[in-house]
Amino acid sequence: MKGEGAKKGYGSFFDLIEGKPKHKCKVRGCSNDRGGGRVVCFKHHMICWRTRNPLHAAYSTLRDHAKRRRLAFTLTMEQFAALVVPAGYLTRKGNNQDDLHIDRINPLKGYEHGNLQILTCSENSSKGATHDKTAWQAHYENEHPDHGPDPDESFFLKALGFEYDEPF
**Under the rule (CB under 5 A), what is the footprint of Zn ion?**
25, 27, 30, 32, 41, 44
CB of 2 to Zn ion, least distance (A): 16
Contacting residues for 150 by C-beta, under 8 A, at least 6 apart: 136, 137, 140, 141, 144, 156
Q: Which of 60, 43, 44, 41 is nearest to 12 (CA)?
A: 44
Least separation in angstroms between CB 51 and Zn ion: 15
d(CA 121, CA 26) in angstroms, rounded, equals 38
State which residue, 32 or 120, has the beta carbon closest to Zn ion.
Answer: 32
Q: How many CB atoms lie within 10 A of CB 87?
A: 15
Classify each residue of 88-113 as buried b or exposed e, where b means 16 or more C-beta atoms within 10 Å of its C-beta: ebeeebeeeeeebbbbbeebeebbbe
Would you give the DSSP letter of residue 11? Answer: H
Q: Which is nearer to Zn ion, 25 or 102 (CB)?
A: 25
Instruction: Give the shortest CB-17-to-Zn ion separation in angstroms.
Output: 11
Contact 133, 149 (CB under 8 A): no
Query: First CA to last CA across the chain, in angstroms?
Result: 63
Smallest separation (angstroms) from Zn ion to the CB of 30 = 3
CB of 48 to Zn ion, least distance (A): 10
Q: Which is nearer to Zn ion, 16 or 102 (CB)?
A: 16
Q: Which lies closer to Zn ion via its Cβ, residue 27 or residue 121? A: 27
Query: Cβ closer to Zn ion: 43 or 67?
Result: 43
